[in-house]
Amino acid sequence: MSAVDGPLVVGVDSSTQSTKALVVDVATGRVVASGQAPHTVSSGAARESDPEQWWQALTEALRQCGDPAREAAAVSVGGQQHGLVTLGADGRPVRPALLWNDVRPAPQTARLIEELGGAEWWAGRIGSVPAPAFTAPKWAWLREHEPDAAAATKAVRLPHDYLTERLTGEATTDRGDASGTGWWAAATETYDSDVLSAIGLEPALLPRVVRPGGAAGTVRACAELPFAEGVLVAAGTGDNAAAALGLGLRPGTPVVSLGTSGTVYAVSQERPADPSGTVAGFADARGDWLPLACTLNCTLAVDRVAALLGLDREAVEPGGGATFLPFLDGERTPNLPAASGLLHGLRHDTSAGQLLQAAYDGAAFALLRALDLVLGPKQGTVPESDGAPLLLIGGGARGAAWQQTVRRLSGRAVQVPQARELVALGAAAQAAGLLTGEDPAEVARRWDTARGPLLEPVRRDEEALERLAAVLGDAGPLLGAQGGSGARA
C-alpha cells in the first residue's frame, strides 16, 4: 500500500445485487483499496435474499481490501432501504428478507393507508404515504401470509441494521433508514405507536435509533473480520441518504440516480409532506430531510428491452412515434404495483433502435415528472435548485444514451460526478465524521466527490413529453385496474 496522509476508514454499500467496500484516506478521500461480492435475489413476484449472504459478501469484500482494511479506525454501512429482516431468538434470519422491490404487500399497503386516516394523515405524521416497498406493509403481509414466521420473529431489522449489528452486537438504526419503514414518525422522530399497533409489531423488536453524528458501537471480536476489536462503527444509513452524504449535497441540489431502480431527491431543511404519495418525506443522515421519489423500472428495465431486441444498450436511434412505458416490475411512481409494460404507436417502419430509445424515454419521463414535485415549494428545496445542474449518478449515469435522454427530456444541464460508489463513499464520510467530529457532508465536499464533466442544456423535447403524458393518461384506467391502487400520474 502506498503512503496515506491520514487515518483510514471503511465505507460499505450493501445493495440489492452486491456488497462493496472501500478503504478511504480520511485526509484526502483517496480510495486505497476496494472489494466487491455478489448477492442472490429470487426472481418472480417474490424478491427476497438471505441476509446471511450479505454478511458473507461483506466479509469477502473486506478480504479483497487486504491490509488497508486491517488499519481502519472506523467503519460505516450504507444499505438498500425498506427490506424486512426477521431474526429469531438465536439471532439468525427466520426467513429470507423481503426486499424493497417486492410488491406483494400492495393490498396491505392500501388497507393501512385507509385504516389510519388516509394519505393526509400519513404525510403529515409519518412524512410519507407508504408504498408496497415500505417495511410496515411488508410486516403486515408476513403476519397475514406466514403467521408462523412472524410469531417466531424476535427482532426486526433493516438490511443496514442487520450488518451493523453483526459488526457491533448492538441493535441500532439511524433516522435516514428508519424513515423508510412507515413506522417511524417524521413529526416526532420516534417510532409511531398507532402504526405499530395497526400492523401488530411490538416496539421491543425494533432497534435503537442513533442520532446523527453518533456511534452504533465498536467492532466486536470476530475471526471473519479484518478489523481490530474496538474499531468505531458509525450509525450507517439507507443507500440514498448515504449517496447524499457521498456527494456532500447542499440543500436544493437535484440528484437523478439511475440504478436498478431510479430515484430523484434533494436535501431540504424543511420537513416534506406530500399527500399524493409521489414524494417520500425521508430524513437524511445529518439532521435535515431528503424528499425523494422512486421508480421501480430504470436501468434494469431498459437493459431488458435491449436484450429482447438483441441490441447493445447504447444502440438507440432518434425518430419514430412509438411510446413505451417500461413498467416491467409493476411501478412505484406512478403507484401501479401490478402494472406491466405498455407499448403504443408501433408501426412497420419503427426500428429496433427507436423502440429502445422509447424505453429510455419512458423510464426517464417517470423520473423527471417526479423530480418536478421533489423540487416544488412544498418540499422546501426550490431556492437553491433554480438553474442548478442535475447531478446524474448510479450505474446508468456514465451511459451516453442515458445522459442524452435526461438532457433532452429535462432541458437542464447535467453534471456526472467522476467519483464511483457514492453510497460507499458516503458511508466512509460518515465514518470519517465520527472519527474527526466533522460534518460528513463537509468531509465529502473536502474530498470533492461531486467533481465531474458538465454537459450543457439542450432544447427540451416537448413533443416527446406530451406524447408520453398522453399515453400514460389514456392508459390510466387499464393500468389502474391492473395495479389495484389507481394511477397517480
| Residues recognised as catalytic | 239
Burial of residue 230 (CB within 10 Å: 0-12, 13-18, 19+) is: exposed
Q: Which residues contact 133 (CB under 8 A, 6 or more apart)?
A: 81, 82, 100, 101, 102, 103, 294, 332
Residue pair 290/145 in contact by the 8 Å Cβ criterion: no
**Residue 364 and residue 463: Cα distance in Å, rounded?**
15
Q: If DSSP states are collapsed to H, E and C, what string results for the chain?
A: CCCCCCCEEEEEEECCCEEEEEEEECCCCCEEEEEEEECCCCCCCCCEECHHHHHHHHHHHHHHHCHHHHCEEEEEEEECCCCEEEECCCCCECCCEECCCCCCCHHHHHHHHHHCCHHHHHHHHCCCCCCCCCHHHHHHHHHHHCHHHHHHCCEEECHHHHHHHHHHCCCEEEHHHHCCCCCEECCCCEECHHHHHHHCCCHHHCCEEECCCCEEEECCCCCCCCCCCCCEEECCEEHHHHHHHHHCCCCCCCEEEECCCEEEECCECCCCCCCCCCCEEEECCCCCEEEEEEECCCHHHHHHHHHHHCCCCCCCCCCCCCEEECCECEECCCCECCCCCEEECCCCCCCHHHHHHHHHHHHHHHHHHHHHHHCCHHHCCHHHHCCCCEEEECCCCCCHHHHHHHHHHHCCCEECCCCCCHHHHHHHHHHHHHHHCCCHHHHHHHHCCCCCCEECCCCCCHHHHHHHHHHHHHCHHHHHHHHCCCCCC
> Measuring CA to CA, which residue among 414, 319, 409, 427 is closest to residue 370?
409
Length of the chain: 489
Could you tell me the three cell numbers for 170? 448492538
